Amino acid sequence: MRVMLTAKLHRVRLTRVDRDYEGSIGIDRELLEEAGILEYEMVHVWNVTNGERLQTYAIAAPEGSGEICLNGAAAHKGNPDDLVIIATFAPMEEAQARIHRPKVIHVDNHNRVVQPVPNNPMRMDTADVGAQPF
C-alpha cells in the first residue's frame, strides 16, 4: 500500500483569514470540484510565503468567489495574499499507485483556473486542468 497525492491546488492566494470561525479552510466550490476535493475532506495546507504547514478539512466557499480562507486556529498560520498549496492524499494498492496521476490545478492571481499546459506528463486526460509537475 502506498499513500499518493490525489489532488493539488497549486499556489492559490489566501483571500482572508477568520480567527473567530470554528475551524477549517474555505475553498471556492469551483476549485473543490475541479480538484475533486470533497467538502469535509482532510487537506494539507503548505504556506509558500512563510513556510507554515498544517492539516485541516475543506469547506465550500461561494462558487466563483475565488475565496481561500483559513479559519480558526489555522488562521494564525497565514495572512491575506499569502500563496499556499492545498493537497489531498489517498492510500492505493501498488499496481494502482504505479499508474496513478494526481489532479493538479493551477490558478491565476484571482484563484481562477488556468487552461491546461499542453503535453504535460502529469495530465490524466484532456479534461484535466493545469496539471504540471511539482
21 carries an active-site annotation:
no
Name the active-site residue from 21, 24, 40, 65: 24
DSSP string, the chain: -EEEEEEEEEEEEP-EEETTS-S-EEEEHHHHHHHTPPTT-EEEEEETTT--EEEEEEEEEPTTS--EEEEGGGGGG--TT-EEEEEEEEEE-HHHHHH---EEEEB-TTSPBPPPPTT-TT--STT--S----
57 carries an active-site annotation:
yes
Active site members:
24, 57
